[in-house]
Amino acid sequence: MTDHPIFGAHPGTIDTPAWVRDAVFYQIFPDRFARSPRLPKPSGVEPWDTEPTTYGYKGGDLLGVVERLDYLQDLGVTALYFNPIFQSAANHRYHTHDYFKVDPLLGGDPAFAELMAACQERGLRVVLDGVFNHASRGFFQFNDVLENGAASPWLDWFTFNQVPANAYDHSRPPDYTAWIGLHALPKLNTDNPAVREYVMNVAEHWLRQGIDGWRLDVPFEITTPGFWQEFRQRVRGVNPDGYIVGEVWQDSRHWLQGDQFDAVMNYLFASAALAFCGRDRVVKELQEDRSYDPWPGIDGNEYAARIEHLLGLYDWNVQLAQMNLLGSHDTARILTLLGGDRCSVELAYLLLFTFPGAPIIYYGDEIGLTGGLPDRWARKSFPWDGESSWDHELRDLVKRLIALRRAEPALRTGTYQTAASSPSSYAFQREQGDDRLLVALNTNEREDTLTLPGVAVTCRPLLIVGERPDLTQSEDGATIQLPARSGVILRGTAPSPSPSPDAGRGEQDAPHGQ
């Protein structure tokens, strides 16, 4: 075929949960996804359909999620990742007050129990957000220090410069170590064995309640020797299939050697896919203070180079467990980042659902929600009562891609090899046994032709984004003519010694997304 490396040709050696490679995740920001009428709300909750504010609550809850599981399963989702659900005084709940209690606005522990029962009945996996680097001013042990100063028995759970400590005057730095210097987020002293054991107990407790794993917030900030190694051992001790995925935005080899995390949120993939699909449409200002780089745009040859570098970083079992994303609560909405251009989003989804690892959808991206930065604008309420505002064509494409991924083993666990690239286009093959698929896309404004040595494919596409390509087959391989800004998935076949007279001409044009 080509001289490009075949990734996955040799089995991986690192133990990662097998269920993840078949999963399709959906990320839920609890305050903004769905609100159940079964849970009464305080009077100060904002109207659901108004623009979000920095500190305001919309009142989304876990029973609202239970009531929308039919929607998620219709989409094809098999696993849920929740932003923090524990008691907190922030709408995003990264300011944890009590790691052993579900926030009352979310319905508390009873709502969580109902959610878990419903998910387990449906075969849906659940991953929770673990914020273990820092707590909050309302965290009991920290609050005790604020009340009692040097007399507090919890003083060494944190690192204080002096007590009484400045926790609220933002004109002066806090008198303790805090995450990125924020007064509201005192950093836990994980060098303290008691703190370390507390975190381990939290992890074990929720695994025993039935969750399937942890997404770890800023885990690179915890540098206590052996901390994450012990965390993995404790997680696996409760659930041998427990998934551990870290929020690390760059090269993550340090954490992915088999002794700490199973995977990371794959922002390296997101950067490359968004840059290639969006090109000059990527809005520079929306990613400047983030830790990834989807701007400036890149061409097909650069995309090929980046993807081959990325796939060469980690063990194949780690690649199959990666949490592959395009956007999250920490980025601008992908539609907004890509200049409002839906075609760019469609092509990026084509790459997402055909790449090794577990794809994840940030809630609402599948219906074209918009929002930039600051972060609150990327955290709008899901418009359940405004279905007329949904981009139904985009959702339909996502649904078809998920269904195709779930139907085709090669798209989940097959080998990966670049077939061809050009300044405009990129093509690759996924192969597992006799199951072969070719994915090709052209993100440029003009038509492009790719020559694919040693590749043989059927004429009728499995799925098309944009206009239908032309295909010519010969004994040496295939030539595919890709219309501007289009993509296609084709089934591979055994190479034929001679081309069919009508090669490249299907019986009829497949409709968009078929």
Taken in order 289, 290, 292, 295, the sign of the CA dihedral is negative
Helices and strands (H and E) in the chain: how many: 14, 18
Q: Is residue 310 part of a domain?
A: yes
In 3D, which of 96, 224, 138, 153 has the Cα closest to residue 163?
153
Q: Which of 392, 410, 428 is the last residue of a domain?
A: 410
Place of tokens 């094809």: 76
Q: What does each C-alpha distance from 37 to 42, 270, 377 come to in angstroms?
A: 13, 36, 25
Q: Is residue 347 part of a domain?
A: yes
Cα–Cα distance between 464 and 312 in angstroms, integer?
A: 29
Q: Which of 381, 410, 439 is the last residue of a domain?
A: 410
Q: What tokens appear for 426 in the block?
A: 């990129």
Do 158 and 215 have their domain in common?
no
Cα–Cα distance between 19 and 16 in angstroms, integer?
A: 9
Instruction: Find the CATH number of the domain harbouring 257.
Output: 3.20.20.80
Question: Out of 217, 346, 365, 408, which one is annotated catalytic?
Answer: 217
Do 255 and 377 have their domain in common?
yes
Q: What does each C-alpha distance from 77 to 32, 125, 323, 357, 401 come to in angstroms?
A: 18, 10, 14, 15, 11
Do 106 and 143 have their domain in common?
no
Do 28 and 149 have their domain in common?
no
Q: Is residue 505 part of a domain?
A: no
Q: Could you list the residue range(s) of the whole structural domain that residue 471 is in? A: 411-491
Do 356 and 385 have their domain in common?
yes
Q: What does each C-alpha distance from 64 to 19, 140, 272, 295 come to in angstroms?
A: 26, 29, 35, 36
Query: Is 31 an annotated catalytic residue?
Result: no
Cα–Cα distance between 235 and 210 in angstroms, integer?
A: 12
Q: What tokens appear for 378 in the block?
A: 């990327």
Q: Is residue 318 part of a domain?
A: yes
Residue 477: what are its φ and ψ, rounded to 5°? 150, -155
Per the structure, how many domains does the chain have?
A: 3
Q: Is residue 316 part of a domain?
A: yes
Do 279 and 355 have their domain in common?
yes
Do 146 and 212 have their domain in common?
no
Q: Is residue 500 part of a domain?
A: no
Do 32 and 47 have their domain in common?
yes
Q: Is 276 helix (H, G, I), strand (E, B) or coil?
A: helix
**Residues whose CB falls within 8 Å of the CB of residue 172, separated by 6 or more in sequence, listed in order:** 166
Do 194 and 341 have their domain in common?
yes
Instruction: Find the CATH number of the domain harbouring 483.
Output: 2.60.40.1180
Q: Is residue 11 part of a domain?
A: no
pLDDT, one tens digit for every residue, the chain (514 residues): 568 999 999 999 999 999 999 999 999 999 999 999 999 999 999 999 999 999 999 999 999 999 999 999 999 999 999 999 999 999 999 999 999 999 999 999 999 999 999 999 999 999 999 999 999 999 999 999 999 999 999 999 999 999 999 999 999 999 999 999 999 999 999 999 999 999 999 999 999 999 999 999 999 999 999 999 999 999 999 999 999 999 999 999 999 999 999 999 999 999 999 999 999 999 999 999 999 999 999 999 999 999 999 999 999 999 999 999 999 999 999 999 999 999 999 999 999 999 999 999 999 999 999 999 888 889 999 999 999 999 999 999 999 999 999 999 999 999 999 999 999 999 999 999 989 999 999 999 999 999 999 999 988 999 999 999 999 999 899 999 999 999 999 999 865 444 444 433 333 334 344 4
Q: What tokens appear for 115 in the block?
A: 């959610």
Instruction: Find the CATH number of the domain harbouring 166.
Output: 3.90.400.10
Strands 415-421 and 425-432: antiparallel
Q: What tokens appear for 70 in the block?
A: 């039919």
**Cis amide prior to 374 (ω within 30 degrees):** yes
Q: Is 159 helix (H, G, I), strand (E, B) or coil?
A: coil
Q: Using alpha carbons only, give the angle 50, 53, 58 rounded to the nearest 5 degrees.
A: 55
In 3D, which of 255, 220, 256, 213 has the Cα closest to residue 235?
213
Direct distance between the N- and C-terminal alpha carbons of the chain, in angstroms, rounded to an integer: 27
List, in sequence order, the alpha helices (H) in 209-341: 227-238, 267-278, 300-311, 316-321, 334-337
Question: Out of 247, 262, 293, 299, which one is annotated catalytic?
Answer: 247
Query: Is 217 an annotated catalytic residue?
Result: yes
**Residues whose CB falls within 8 Å of the CB of residue 375, separated by 6 or more in sequence, listed in order:** 92, 329, 330
Do 274 and 326 have their domain in common?
yes
Q: Which of 365, 395, 410 is the last residue of a domain?
A: 410
Q: Is residue 401 part of a domain?
A: yes
Do 352 and 397 have their domain in common?
yes
Do 375 and 243 have their domain in common?
yes
Cα–Cα distance between 347 and 397 in angstroms, integer?
A: 10
Q: Using alpha carbons only, give the angle 373, 303, 412 rounded to the nearest 5 degrees.
A: 90
